Structure 1
Amino acid sequence: MNDAPRLDRQVCFALYSASRAATAVYRPVLEDLGLTYPQYLVMLVLWESEPTGVKELGAELGLDSGTLSPLLKRLEGMGLVERRRSGEDERRVAVHLTPAGRALSSKASAIPQRLAEAAGLSDVELEQLRGTLERLTAALHSSR
């Protein structure tokens, strides 16, 4: 039994644990904004570049339409976004921020710093970690 895989040696478990811990740090801050973590990710993309097509939004976040559509419907119901069909191509739907959605951006601006403080890592360490995770993600996607 000595050659059996050990949980504490698994990269996948370390990633899973870190992700859950990070989400737990975000949770109370996001609750104050009335957002879940997946909704926050959608808003991050839109604060950076809006309007954004639904298809492009899904690609950016790695979400299929079955997952993204309910998120957008909920955000729309909260008055933060609105979906509009393109006048040029009715099949294309773009997501736009509402004034309330734009205003939420300033309230969310301190969230990344909160995670950085909770992580106890320097800015350089966090940047290195993010770079390593991006390379890992790209490599894993290309190996499929």
Structure 2
Amino acid sequence: MPKRFTHRNLPQQLLNARDALMAHFRPILQHFNLTEQQWRILRALDEQVQLEPRELCTLCQIHSSSMAGILARMEETGLLQRSAVEADQRRVLIGLSAAGDALIDQMAPLIEAQYHYLEQVCGSAALEALSAALGSFLRAQAGPVQRVLLPPRE
């Protein structure tokens, strides 16, 4: 039987790469009783300081229906704090609490050390090239990409 596809299965490769990469960081997250989603939120807030929930959804790739519960639990555990936007009291900003900031202080050296170990195996140039290639790919998606014309359904 001839091969029907000439292109790689990039979605599957990306899923496999993500799983392989996260395997190096899951033990750290588990040690601090964090889920991957919670870590993505903490990391985003560490980099952006304060964000609206919809911005967190986009940055962290978490559906809004799930985000509401995750944020509520993280606020209950004292990792996050909410504040109203001064110009529009209906809008809310989410930021790290003192406890969330302290948790990141504890975790950052471990995360950085794990990245260093990955660089020892993969090479820092390879990881930089991967990051650059992914960034280029994502930026290219901002423009229009032609879609195939789908045949009528039978």
Shared fold (TM-score, shorter chain, > 0.5): yes
Question: 1:131, CA displacement in angstroms?
Answer: 0.8
Question: 1:116, CA displacement in angstroms?
Answer: 4.4
Question: 1:141, CA displacement in angstroms?
Answer: 5.1
Q: Report the counterpart of residue 77 of structure 1 in structure 2.
A: 76
Q: Per the alignment, do residues 108 and 64 of structure 1 end up closer, same or farther by CA in structure 2, a change over 3 Å counting?
A: same
Worse overlay, 104-113 or 125-134: 104-113
**Runs of at least 4 residues off by over 6 Å:** none
Q: Which runs of 5+ in 2 are unaligned?
A: 148-154
Q: Report the counterpart of residue 136 of structure 1 in structure 2.
A: 137
Q: Report the counterpart of residue 107 of structure 2 in structure 1.
A: 108
Question: 1:64, CA displacement in angstroms?
Answer: 3.7
Q: Report the counterpart of residue 62 of structure 2 in structure 1.
A: 63
Distance in 1 (alpha carbons) for counterparts of 2:69 and 2:23? 22
Q: How big is the alpha-carbon RMSD for the aligned residues of Structure 1 and Structure 2?
A: 2.3
Question: 1:33, CA displacement in angstroms?
Answer: 1.5
Give the 3-state SS of the residue equivalent to 1:91 in structure 2: strand
Distance in 1 (alpha carbons) for counterparts of 2:16 and 2:128? 19
Distance in 1 (alpha carbons) for counterparts of 2:9 and 2:116? 24
1:2 and 2:2 correspond: yes
Q: Which runs of 5+ in 1 are unaligned?
A: none
In structure 2, what residue type is equivalent to 1:131? A
In structure 2, what residue type is equivalent to 1:89? D
In the comparison of the two structures, how many residue pairs are matched? Answer: 143
In structure 1, what residue type is equivalent to 2:102? A
Superposed CA deviations along residues 78-117 of structure 1, whole A, max 9, x for unmatched, are: 2100222224312211112111101011112121431442
| Higher helix proportion | 1
Percent identity, aligned pairs only, is 27
Q: Is the 8 A contact 1:116 1:126 kept in 2?
A: no
Higher CA-based Rg? 2
Q: Report the counterpart of residue 38 of structure 2 in structure 1.
A: 39
Q: Report the counterpart of residue 96 of structure 2 in structure 1.
A: 97
Worse overlay, 35-44 or 106-115: 106-115
Give the 3-state SS of the residue equivalent to 1:35 in structure 2: coil
Q: Report the counterpart of residue 53 of structure 2 in structure 1.
A: 54
In structure 2, what residue type is equivalent to 1:34? N
What is the TM-score normalised by the length of structure 1?
A: 0.84
Q: Which has the higher contact order (CA 8 A, sep 6+)?
A: 1
Distance in 2 (alpha carbons) for counterparts of 1:140 and 1:2? 31
What is the TM-score normalised by the length of structure 2?
A: 0.79
